[in-house]
C-alpha cells in the first residue's frame, strides 16, 4: 500500500504521467474513478487538434516542440499512429486575435505557415464559403491526435513498465501526514512520498485549499453528415474566426476509428464544434447529460455556422456528445507544486479546452517535477502559479 508516487486521475495527463514515471523505474500507483477512457471527463470525442503556431501565446511553442518530439517517440515505441498530419487551415480577418496569434507565434519561432488571399483560399479549400475580406493561413505541420487511443496506450505502456493502475476507484481525500502523503479512496488507504493531481474537471473537489478559482463548462461536439459527397482524403482540420462572434468554430476530417469499433464512442461524419465558454457547471452536475434546451441551442448555432461558411456540411446531425473544459482564470494551464506542500504535491489543471495536444510533454514534465528533476522546468515556467502573485 506504499508507493513512491500516486497519480490521481488516469485521463489525458495522468495516463501519460504514470508512463513517464514508470519508465524511470518509479513505483507508481494511478487511481481512476471511472474506467480508463470514459465519457464523463475532458477526453472523449475521437480527435483533438494539434498545432504549433500557437495562437494562445508564443511561450507554449517550446513545450509544443517537446510534445511533437514525444508523440513521435511514443508512436515508435507502440507502433501505432496517434498524430494525423492533415494540416490546418485558419480562416478569418488578417488581424483577428486568433489569426494574429498564429502569425505572431509562427514568426517568433520560425514555424512554417502560408497566407493566402480569399481567391486563392477558395481554390485550395473549395468546401468553404470564404468571405472576400478573409485571409486563409495554412499550417502544414498541424493536424489531429486521437485521445481515447492515446490514453489507453499510455496506460497500457505504463503498466508494462511496472505502474499499478486501479480503475473505478474514487479518491475521496488526501492529506500530508509527516513525511508521507495519505490518500483515501472508496476502497482503501494508500501512502506515498509524492502526489500528482491530474483530475481534470473534478480537480476542484480535491483542491479545497486552492485559492485560484477554476470554472468548469459543458461543451458539445457534433458529428454531421455532409449534404454533398466530400473528398475525405483532401479535407484538412480547420478553424473559423468570425468577427463579432466569441471564440472559434473548428472541425476535422472524418476519422476512421477502427480501434473504437467496439466502443460507444464510434461515430462517423464530420466533427464540428464551437470553442467558447459553454454551460457553467457546479461540481455535482459534472457527470450528468446535457439538457435538451442546451443541445437544441448548440445545434442551431452550428447549423447557422455551417449554412453560411460550410454549406456542404448542413446535413443530418449523426451524434452529439459532451465534454468538460476546466478554465483557469487566464485560460493558461496551471502546472506547479501545490503551495504549502513542501514540493511534494504537484498539480496540473486549468487546461482551458486546449490541453490535449500537449499530453506527452506534460506527462514527462509532471514526472520530472515529482522526481525533482529540473530538466524540463523551463518549458513550464510561464505556467507556474507565481504568475497570479503579480
Ligand atoms: C469538447 C472538447 C474539445 C477539445 N478540443 C481540443 C483540441 O482540439 N485540442 C487540444 O489540444 N485540446 C482540446 N481539448 C482539451 C483537452 O481535451 C483537455 O485539456 C484534456 O483532455 C484535459 O486533460 P485532463 O487530464 O486534465 O482531464 P481528463 O482527461 O478528464 O482526466 C482527468 C481524470 O481524472 C479522473 N478523476 C477526477 N477526480 C478523480 C478522483 N477523485 N478519483 C479518481 N479519479 C479522478 C477523471 O475521471 C478523469 O479520468 C478539448 C476538450 C473538450 C472537452
**201 is written with which cell numbers?**
474537471
3-class SS at 191? Answer: strand
* Ligand 1 and 42: CB distance under 6 A: yes
Residue with the three cell numbers 505572431: 104
Give the ligand 1 atom nearest the CA of 273.
1
Cβ burial, residue 261 (10 Å; 0-12/13-18/19+): exposed
pLDDT at 91 over 80: yes
Residue 69 CA: distances (Å) to CA of 19, 20, 76, 78, 172: 16, 14, 11, 14, 36
- The segment with the largest mean pLDDT, out of 117-126, 256-265, 323-332, is 323-332
> What's the predicted TM-score (pTM) here?
0.96
Of the CA atoms within 13 Å of residue 222, those in its CB half-sphere come to 26
For residue 312, what pLDDT is reported? 86
- 8 A C-beta contact, residue 158 and residue 19: yes
Positions of E strands within 146-214: 164-166, 171-177, 180-185, 189-197
Answer yes or no: CATH 2.60.120.10 is held by domain 85-142+215-327: no
For the packed helices 97-109 and 61-78, what is the interaxial angle rounded to 10 degrees? 80
Confidence band for 267, pLDDT divided at 50, 70 and 90: low
Percent of the chain topping pLDDT 70: 96
**Average pLDDT of the segment spanning 111-120:** 93
* Ligand 1 and 43: CB distance under 6 A: yes
pLDDT at 390 over 90: no
For residue 262, what pLDDT is reported? 45
For residue 233, what pLDDT is reported? 61
Cβ burial, residue 390 (10 Å; 0-12/13-18/19+): exposed
For residue 266, what pLDDT is reported? 55
Fold of 2-45+148-212+330-389: FAD/NAD(P)-binding domain (3.50.50)
Confidence band for 80, pLDDT divided at 50, 70 and 90: very high
Give the ligand 1 atom nearest the CA of 324.
53
- 8 A C-beta contact, residue 327 and residue 277: yes
Dist. CA 109–CA 296, nearest whole Å: 42
Q: How many angstroms separate the alpha carbon of residue 56 from the centre of ligand 1?
A: 19
**199 is written with which cell numbers?**
483530475
Confidence band for 264, pLDDT divided at 50, 70 and 90: very low
Give the ligand 1 atom nearest the CA of 322.
1
**Average pLDDT of the segment spanning 243-255:** 93
Domains of the chain by residue range:
2-45+148-212+330-389, 85-142+215-327
Pick the range with the lowest mean pLDDT from 16-25, 65-74, 299-308, 313-322: 313-322
pLDDT in tens, 325-375: 999 999 999 999 999 999 999 999 999 999 999 999 999 999 999 999 999
**136 is written with which cell numbers?**
486563409
Terminal-to-terminal C-alpha distance of the chain: 41
pLDDT in tens, 161-182: 999 999 999 999 999 999 999 9
Q: How many angstroms separate the alpha carbon of residue 315 from the centre of ligand 1?
A: 29
Residues in CB range of 160: below 8 A, 6 or more apart: none
For the packed helices 359-370 and 147-160, what is the interaxial angle rounded to 10 degrees? 40
pLDDT at 47 over 50: yes
Average pLDDT along the chain: 93
Confidence band for 72, pLDDT divided at 50, 70 and 90: very high
DSSP state of 264: T
Amino acid at each position: 500500500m506504499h508507493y513512491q508516487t500516486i497519480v490521481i486521475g488516469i485521463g489525458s495527463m495522468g495516463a501519460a504521467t504514470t508512463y513517464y514515471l514508470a519508465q524511470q523505474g518509479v513505483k507508481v500507483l494511478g487511481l481512476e474513478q471511472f474506467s480508463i477512457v470514459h465519457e464523463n471527463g475532458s477526453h472523449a470525442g475521437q480527435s483533438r487538434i494539434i498545432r504549433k503556431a500557437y495562437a494562445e501565446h508564443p511561450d507554449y511553442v517550446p513545450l509544443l516542440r517537446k510534445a511533437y518530439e514525444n508523440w513521435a517517440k511514443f508512436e515508435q515505441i507502440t507502433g501505432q499512429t496517434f498524430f494525423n498530419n492533415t494540416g490546418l487551415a485558419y480562416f478569418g480577418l488578417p488581424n483577428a486575435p486568433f489569426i494574429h496569434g498564429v502569425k505572431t507565434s509562427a514568426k517568433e519561432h520560425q514555424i512554417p505557415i502560408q497566407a493566402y488571399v480569399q481567391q486563392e483560399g477558395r481554390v485550395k479549400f473549395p468546401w468553404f464559403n470564404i468571405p472576400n475580406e478573409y485571409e486563409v493561413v495554412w499550417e502544414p505541420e498541424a493536424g489531429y491526435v486521437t485521445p481515447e487511443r492515446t490514453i489507453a496506450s499510455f496506460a497500457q505502456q505504463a503498466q508494462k513498465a511496472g505502474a499499478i493502475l486501479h480503475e473505478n476507484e474514487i479518491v475521496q481525500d488526501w492529506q500530508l501526514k509527516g513525511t508521507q502523503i495519505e490518500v483515501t479512496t472508496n476502497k482503501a488507504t494508500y501512502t506515498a512520498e509524492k502526489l500528482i493531481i491530474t483530475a481534470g474537471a473534478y480537480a476542484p473537489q480535491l483542491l479545497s485549499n486552492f485559492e485560484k478559482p477554476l470554472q468548469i463548462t459543458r461543451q458539445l461536439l457534433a458529428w454531421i453528415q455532409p449534404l454533398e459527397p466530400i473528398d475525405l482524403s483532401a479535407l484538412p482540420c480547420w478553424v473559423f474566426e468570425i468577427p463579432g462572434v466569441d471564440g472559434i468554430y473548428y472541425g476535422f476530417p472524418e476519422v476512421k476509428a477502427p480501434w473504437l469499433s467496439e466502443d460507444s464512442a464510434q461515430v462517423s461524419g464530420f466533427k464540428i464544434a464551437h470553442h467558447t465558454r459553454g454551460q457553467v457547471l457546479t461540481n455535482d452536475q459534472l457527470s450528468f447529460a446535457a439538457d435538451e434546451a442546451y443541445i437544441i441551442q448548440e445545434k442551431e448555432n452550428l447549423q447557422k455556422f455551417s449554412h453560411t461558411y460550410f454549406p456542404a456540411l448542413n446535413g443530418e446531425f449523426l451524434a452529439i456528445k459532451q465534454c468538460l473544459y476546466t478554465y483557469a482564470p487566464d485560460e493558461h494551464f496551471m502546472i506547479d507544486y501545490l503551495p504549502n506542500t513542501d514540493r511534494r504535491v504537484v498539480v496540473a489543471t486549468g487546461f482551458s479546452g486546449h490541453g490535449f495536444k500537449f499530453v506527452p510533454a506534460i506527462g514527462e514534465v509532471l514526472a520530472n517535477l515529482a522526481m525533482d528533476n529540473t530538466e524540463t522546468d523551463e518549458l513550464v515556467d510561464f505556467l507556474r502559479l507565481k504568475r497570479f502573485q503579480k
